[in-house]
Structure 1
Amino acid sequence: DANEGLLVRPRRGHGGGHEFHASLLPPAAQLELARRGLIAKPQTSEQRSEDRHGWRWFEQQTAKVREVAQFRLDIVSEIEVLVAAGATKTAAVAEIAAERSVGKATLWNWLRAVDGIDAANRLPALAPRRKGGGSEAEIDEGLWTVFKSDWLRPSQPTLTSCYDRTAKIAAERGLSMPSARTFSRRLKRELPRDVVKLKREGAEALRRAQPAQRRSVADMHALECVNIDGHKFDVFVRSPETGKPIRPIMVAIQDIYSRKVVAWRLSLTENAAAVRLVFADLFREFGIPMACVLDNGRGFASKWITGGAKSRFRFKIRDEDPTGLLTGLGIDIHWALPYRGQSKPIERAFRDMCDRIAKHPAMEGAYTGNSPVAKPDNYGSRAIEWDEFVAHVDNGVRDHNARPNRRGGVCKGRSFDRTFAESYAIAPIKKADDAQLRMALLAADQKLVNRTTGEIALFGNRYWSTEIGALAGQKVTVRFDPDNLHSEIHVYDREGRFLGTAPVIADTGFSDSDAAKRSAKLTANVGKATKAAIEAQQLLDADQVAALQPDAPKPITPEPSVVRIARHRGTAGAAAAAMKPHQEEQEDRQTRVFNALRLVTDNQT
C-alpha cells in the first residue's frame, strides 16, 4: 500500500492461516466491521485528502509534537525570506544555522521535507515522527477472548489479576504470553467506551454517560403542571404518638414552571392520607392543576389518589375500583421514572432544604447525617419536639420560595414566589368549588354493606343509618375523613350518585346501662318507624281479603245429546213402582223448603 505495508501476511497465532487487511474486503463488510467497532469507518474523499497530507495524524499528536513542527516551520520560513531577498539558499541555511544553533544538515533535511508541498500543508510534513522499537507482540486470540471476558465483568476485577489468570492458561497450553502493557494497549484500542461501561458498571452507568435531556418550561404557565414527592429529613424528631425519635417525612408539591413549593405537610410515614391533605391544601390555596408528575410509590399510587387511571400499574386495575382524587378532578397523571431524579425537579429543592433546614443551627445535635457512614460526632444527642420542627420547616420552605437571585428555569434573577405570582396573575387557573374541596378532603374506598344488619365496617368502626340499611348486600363507594373516623361517612353508588350518610356506631362498656337504654330506644324508634311505614301502606286484614274473593263457581251438568228410554222388567219394574210414592213425597218437601227460603230473602231485601 501507500505506506509500503503488506496487505496479506501469514498468521503468527496458533493454527496458522493468513491475515488480510480490512481494505481488501467488500465495502459492505467494511461497514459492518466498522459498526461493530473492530475497524475504523471507511474514509470519504475529504478524509483521504487529509490523510494524504497527514493532517488526521497531526491532530492526534501531543502539544509537544505540534510545538516542534511549528518551530521547524518558522525556521524554514526564515530561510525562504532570505532567499527571496536575494541570498543563495546555501548562504541562507548557513546564516540561520549559526543564528538558531541548528546543524546545517538538519536544516537541509527540513527543506527537503517540504519540497513541493504548499505552505498550508507543511506542518504535518515537519512534525517529528518518532517510532517505537519494533512491532507489537501478537496475542493469541483464544487467550485474548479469555482475558477480555474475565475483565469485562460487573465485579470489575483489576487488569493485573485477569492477566495472571490468563497467563496460567497460556502456560498450561504452551502458548507465549505478551506483557500486561500489551493487553492494556489492546483493551484501549479495541474495546469501545460504551461496551466497557455497560459490562463493568451496568446499564445505569451507561445511561449517565450519555448527555441528559434538557427540558424547557418557557411555554408553560403557573399551575399548569406540578410534581409531588416525599422527602425524609435527616433529623431526629419526637413522634407525637409515641414520643420516640423518628425521621419525619415531608410530602411536598412543587409548581414545575416557577419551581415554587406550593403545598407541603409533615407526617410520620409517606401515606395516601398525607398526600390527600397536601393536594387539599393546594386546591384550597391556589386551584386545580392541569397535570401532575408523581412517583409510583404506595402513597402516590394509592386508589385514594389515582384510582381509575389507566396508566397506573402498581395494582391491578378493576372496574369496581373507586375513582381517585386526581382522576375524579380530571388531572392528567404522569408517572416519573423510578430512581430518576431528573424526572422530578422537586429533588433539587429537597437537596437545598437538606442544607438549609436539616443542617440549620437550630437542629444541631438532632442531625443524623445522610448515610450510616456520615454520622456527625454528636449523633443522637438530641431530638426536636414535633411542633417545633413543623414550625421550623414552614419557615424554611417560605424562605426557600422567597430567596431572590434564582437563575434556573424562567426565574431570571427573581424569586420563586415572584415568578409564580407574575404568571399566576395572567394564567387560566381552574379554581376548586366546595364540592371538589369536599372530594379532596375525603378519601374513597369500596365497601360491601352487611347482608344481615345493613351496617358498614371501616377500620374497626361500624356505620349505619336507615337509608344505608336498605342497601344490605350491595357494594358501595364510601368517602370519609381518615383523620376523623368517629364522624359520619358518605355513601355513593359505583356511578358516583349520593345515596346517604351513616353515622358511627360507637362501642359501649359491658355494664353501661345508659348505652343499653340508648340502644333499646333506637331499636324502639326503628320499630315505630317501621310500623308507621306499614300503616302508610293501607294494608287490608285477612278477613277483608277473603271477603273480596269471588264465590266458587257452580258445577256445570252436561246435557246428553241422545236420550234413551229405560224400560223396567221383572222385579226391577216392581221395585221402581214401589219407590214412586216415596220420591213424590221428597220432591214435594224440597219445593216447600225452597219457597220458604225465597220468602225470607225477599223480606230482607
Structure 2
Amino acid sequence: MQEWYSPAEIASLNLPGIPETVRGVNILVQKHGWRDAITVNGSELARKRKASGGGWEYYWTLFPISAQKELQRREIARKKKENMARGERGVTENRVDWEWFESLPEERRKKARDRFAILEAVCALQRGALSKDQAVYIVAAQQNVGVSTVYNWFKMVEGLDRKDWLPALCPRHTGRTKTVPCDPMAWEFLKADFLRLSKPPFTACYLRLERAAKEHGWSIPAARTLERRLMSEIPEPVRVLLREGSEKLKMMYPPQVRDRTEFHAMEAVNIDGHNWDVFVKFPDGEVTRPMMIAIQDLYSNKCVAWRVDKSENSDLVRLAFGDLFRDYGIPDHCWLDNGRGFAAKCITGGTPNRFRFKVKPEEPSGILTALGVNIHWTTPYSGQSKPIERMFRDFCDHIAKHPAFQGAYTGNSPMAKPEDYASRAIPLDEFLKVVGEGIRQHNARPKRNTRVCGRIRSFDQAFEESYANSVIRKAAPEQLRMCLLAAEQIRTDKRSGRIELMGNTYWSDCLHEHIGKPIMVRFDPDFLHESVFAYRLDGSFIGEVELWEASGFADRNAARAHNRKRRAFINLTRKAAEIERTLSIDEYMQLLPDLEETTPSPQPAAVRMVTGNLARQAEAAPVSNQDLQEEFSRNFRAGLQILQGGREE
C-alpha cells in the first residue's frame, strides 16, 4: 500500500472529505497544518519530494478518517483482484472459515484473539500519526513478541476485511499424526465381526483378527489403534443400528415437540390402557393385576375418564367413552393406537384407515365414527406419540406405590420386585377408592410445568378455564346408550315380564307387551342399581326399566411429519450401514481359519470283559383284539355246555 502522496495524487484519488483539485488540497494542507505535523516520537509526517519537480508529499494518516477507510478498502479490493488474476481463486474464502473457527477449542481461538489485539494496537498507533514500522516496533516491544512475527500476522490478514481477521489469524497446525498401515481386507474382516447384533467385545474380535491375519498374511496395527479407528471412522448411529438394533436407533432421534395450545378443552383427547403394578382381588376371587383404560384431554393434560377391568377389551373402552360423553361432551379428535380393544368394530367401525381387522363397506359404524370423532392412529408402545404415557408414569409413582397398596405392589419389571412381593391382594372396592382419589389429586396439583399451565395452574384449572369459553358438543341420551354394554337375548318373566340381570331384578310397564319374549338389555355394570334400557331384537328401543328388587350387587368392568423424518433418518442410517459392512457373515466365516482338530481321548492299556448273564428275555408278542374275541367266544360256549349238563342231571 502506498503511504506518501503528493497534492496531485491526493486530488486524483477522489477520496471522501478531500477536494478533487490540487489547489483545494493545498488549501486543506494549510488549514490543518499538515507540513508541521509530527508523530508522538517526533517523526515528520510531511517531507519534500526527492523526485524531479520538487514539491511536498504527505503521509496517508493525515487524511480524514473517512478517506483513510476508503483508501484501505480500495487496497483490499486491489489485492483480491490480483490474486484472482494469478489464478488463486478462493484464497480469501479459504482463510475466512467461521464455521471451522467456531469448532476449534477455546485455547486455539484465544491465540487468534491475542494476535488480533496486537494488530489492532498497531493500526491504532498508525491512526495516531505513527508509521507502520514505528507502530510495529512499539507494540512488539510492549507485548514481548518478535517484529517479524507481527509482520507475518499482517501478511495472514492481507486483503481481508477487519471483521474476518480472526479465522485467518487462528493457528492452523494440527500436530503430527502417526498412522499405522492396516490391510484393507483385515479392516473389513474386523468390521464384519464387530458390527453384529450379538455385540461381541472388541477384545474377542481382535483375537480372531490376529488368527486370520497370520493365516492370510495381513498387516494389522495394535488393538488400541484399531479400536480408536472404529470409534472415529464409523458414525455412532451406524454402530448403534448394527450392534443394538432399530429400537435403540430410534432413541437417538429426538422426540417431536408438539404445541397443544392450539386446542381448547375437550377438542382433542387421547386414550390408552395401563396395567397396574398392584395385585387386586376381584369379587369372583381371582387375584390379578387390573387393566385401566384412561382418557386424557390433550389441551390441559387432565384425566377426564377412566375404567378398570381384568383385561383390555372393547367393552371397557366403550364404557370409558360413555363416561366422557356423559360428564364432559364429545371431542372432535381422538388419538389412539390400533390395539384390539380400540380398533374393534363397535368402537371405530367404518373408519377407512383402521389398521386391524378387515374393513368392509357394509360394516356398521362404531361409536366414535357415528358421533363424528376424527380418529388418529398412533404407534403402539410409543410414548413419544401419546402424551398419556407421561400421565401413566405419574400414576406409577404417586398411586401404585401408595401406602395402602403395601405388600400388593409388584414392581414394574421382574427385576424390580419388592421383598414383600405378592404378600397380599387389595380388594377391588378399596383399590378403586385409592385410584380415584389419586387421579383427583393428580388433576388438582398446582404449578404444572406445561405451556398451558405455565407453572401456575393445575390441570383442573386450565381445563375449567378453557371449557367455560369453548363450544362443546353434548351427547343426547340416545347417543349415551350406545356406549352401554348389551346383554344377549334376555327372556322376560312369563307372568310379570320382569328381567333378571346379574342377580338384580328390573321391571317397568313397558315390558307388558314383551312378557315371556326374548329382548336385549343395555346396562352399565358399575351402576347395576340404576336403570337399564330394553331393546327389541331388531334394535328398536322399548324403554327404560328401573331397578325393582336388588338381590345382589355385581361388577363386570370389562405426526405425521416428524415420523416421516425419523423413518427417513433410520433409512439413511441403514444405507450407511450397508456401505460400512461389505462382508457378509458367510464371507467372514470363509476367511476365518479352520478350528484345530481335537486331540483323541486316551485309551486304556487293557480291556476287562464284563461277566454275568447278559441275555435278554424275549418280549411277549402283543395280543390282538381278534385273539381276545376268539378266546372269549370259546370260554362262553364252554360255560353254556356246563350249564346245560347240570340241568339234565
- TM-score w.r.t. length of structure 2: 0.57
Q: Which of 138, 151, 163 pairs up with 1:111? A: 151
| AA aligned opposite 1:141 | P
Aligned equivalent of 2:371:
329
Aligned equivalent of 2:380:
338
- Judge conservation of contact 2:269–2:295 (CA < 8 Å) in 1: yes
| AA aligned opposite 1:195 | V
Does 2:251 correspond to 1:208? Answer: yes
- Judge conservation of contact 2:400–2:409 (CA < 8 Å) in 1: yes
- Per the TM alignment, residue 361 of structure 1 is displaced from its structure 2 partner at its CA by 3.2
Aligned equivalent of 1:52:
95
- Judge conservation of contact 2:484–2:524 (CA < 8 Å) in 1: no
Q: How many residues align?
A: 431
- Judge conservation of contact 2:534–2:541 (CA < 8 Å) in 1: no
Q: Which of 264, 267, 282 pairs up with 1:239? A: 282
Aligned equivalent of 2:18:
none
Distance 1:490 1:361 in 2: 46
Does 2:438 correspond to 1:393? Answer: no
- Per the TM alignment, residue 76 of structure 1 is displaced from its structure 2 partner at its CA by 5.3
Distance 2:106 2:374 in 1: 56
- Per the TM alignment, residue 230 of structure 1 is displaced from its structure 2 partner at its CA by 1.4
Does 2:473 correspond to 1:430? Answer: yes
Q: Which of 296, 299, 316 pairs up with 1:254? A: 296
Aligned equivalent of 2:483:
440
- Judge conservation of contact 1:50–1:56 (CA < 8 Å) in 2: no
| AA aligned opposite 1:222 | A
- Per the TM alignment, residue 145 of structure 1 is displaced from its structure 2 partner at its CA by 2.3
Distance 2:350 2:124 in 1: 85
- Judge conservation of contact 1:223–1:429 (CA < 8 Å) in 2: yes
Distance 1:220 1:55 in 2: 43
Aligned equivalent of 1:286:
328
> SS state of the match for residue 334, structure 1?
strand
Q: Which of 344, 348, 357 pairs up with 2:390? A: 348
Q: How does 1:9-20 map to 2 (within 5 A)?
A: none
- Per the TM alignment, residue 220 of structure 1 is displaced from its structure 2 partner at its CA by 2.2
Structure 1 residues 48 and 306, CA gap change in structure 2 (3 angstroms): farther
- Judge conservation of contact 1:443–1:482 (CA < 8 Å) in 2: no
- Per the TM alignment, residue 133 of structure 1 is displaced from its structure 2 partner at its CA by 3.9
| AA aligned opposite 1:306 | T
| AA aligned opposite 1:336 | T
Aligned equivalent of 2:71:
none
Structure 1 residues 426 and 86, CA gap change in structure 2 (3 angstroms): closer
Structure 1 residues 94 and 184, CA gap change in structure 2 (3 angstroms): farther
Aligned equivalent of 1:372:
414
> SS state of the match for residue 70, structure 1?
helix
Higher relative contact order (CA 8 A, sep 6+): 2
Distance 2:186 2:90 in 1: 35
Distance 2:391 2:260 in 1: 17
- Judge conservation of contact 2:136–2:150 (CA < 8 Å) in 1: no
Distance 2:89 2:405 in 1: 66
Q: Which of 71, 80, 85 pairs up with 2:114? A: 71
Alignment deviations for residues 324-348 of structure 1 (CA, whole Å, 9 cap, x no partner): 3223333232222112112222111
Moved more, 278-287 or 126-135: 126-135
> SS state of the match for residue 393, structure 1?
helix
Distance 2:374 2:399 in 1: 32
Structure 1 residues 92 and 329, CA gap change in structure 2 (3 angstroms): closer
Q: How does 1:313-324 map to 2 (within 5 A)?
A: 313-318=355-360, 321-324=363-366
Moved more, 276-285 or 107-116: 107-116
Does 2:262 correspond to 1:219? Answer: yes
Aligned equivalent of 1:195:
238
Determine what percentage of the aligned residue pairs are the same residue.
48
Distance 1:350 1:82 in 2: 70
- Judge conservation of contact 1:258–1:409 (CA < 8 Å) in 2: no
- Per the TM alignment, residue 231 of structure 1 is displaced from its structure 2 partner at its CA by 1.2
> SS state of the match for residue 347, structure 1?
helix
Which blocks of at least 5 consecutive residues in structure 2 are unaligned?
1-87, 491-500, 503-511, 545-649
- Per the TM alignment, residue 149 of structure 1 is displaced from its structure 2 partner at its CA by 2.8
Distance 2:124 2:483 in 1: 88
- Per the TM alignment, residue 407 of structure 1 is displaced from its structure 2 partner at its CA by 3.3
| AA aligned opposite 2:276 | F
Distance 2:404 2:236 in 1: 48
- Per the TM alignment, residue 395 of structure 1 is displaced from its structure 2 partner at its CA by 0.9
> SS state of the match for residue 209, structure 2?
helix
Alignment deviations for residues 103-136 of structure 1 (CA, whole Å, 9 cap, x no partner): 74xx533532433635545444554444544552
Aligned equivalent of 1:273:
315
Structure 1 residues 48 and 401, CA gap change in structure 2 (3 angstroms): farther
Alignment deviations for residues 550-605 of structure 1 (CA, whole Å, 9 cap, x no partner): xxxxxxxxxxxxxxxxxxxxxxxxxxxxxxxxxxxxxxxxxxxxxxxxxxxxxxxx
Moved more, 324-333 or 339-348: 324-333
| AA aligned opposite 1:307 | G
Which blocks of at least 5 consecutive residues in structure 1 are unaligned?
1-44, 448-457, 460-464, 472-476, 502-605
- Judge conservation of contact 1:490–1:500 (CA < 8 Å) in 2: yes
| AA aligned opposite 2:264 | H
- Per the TM alignment, residue 388 of structure 1 is displaced from its structure 2 partner at its CA by 1.6
Moved more, 278-287 or 401-410: 401-410
Q: Which of 199, 203, 206 pairs up with 1:163? A: 206
Aligned equivalent of 2:549:
none
Structure 1 residues 425 and 113, CA gap change in structure 2 (3 angstroms): closer
Distance 1:443 1:322 in 2: 16
Structure 1 residues 183 and 237, CA gap change in structure 2 (3 angstroms): same
- Per the TM alignment, residue 393 of structure 1 is displaced from its structure 2 partner at its CA by 0.9
Q: How does 1:364-513 map to 2 (within 5 A)?
A: 364-412=406-454, 413-443=456-486, 480-481=522-523, 483=525, 490-491=535-536, 493=538
Structure 1 residues 198 and 267, CA gap change in structure 2 (3 angstroms): same
Distance 1:220 1:382 in 2: 44
Distance 1:98 1:177 in 2: 53
| AA aligned opposite 1:271 | N
Distance 1:409 1:134 in 2: 51
- Per the TM alignment, residue 255 of structure 1 is displaced from its structure 2 partner at its CA by 1.4
Structure 1 residues 470 and 190, CA gap change in structure 2 (3 angstroms): same
> SS state of the match for residue 411, structure 1?
coil
Aligned equivalent of 2:305:
263
Q: How does 1:139-150 map to 2 (within 5 A)?
A: 139-150=182-193
Structure 1 residues 328 and 467, CA gap change in structure 2 (3 angstroms): farther
Q: Which of 339, 346, 349 pairs up with 1:307? A: 349
> SS state of the match for residue 373, structure 1?
helix
- Judge conservation of contact 1:304–1:444 (CA < 8 Å) in 2: no
Distance 1:377 1:90 in 2: 84
Distance 1:46 1:358 in 2: 70
Distance 1:221 1:380 in 2: 43
Q: How does 1:121-132 map to 2 (within 5 A)?
A: 121-132=164-175
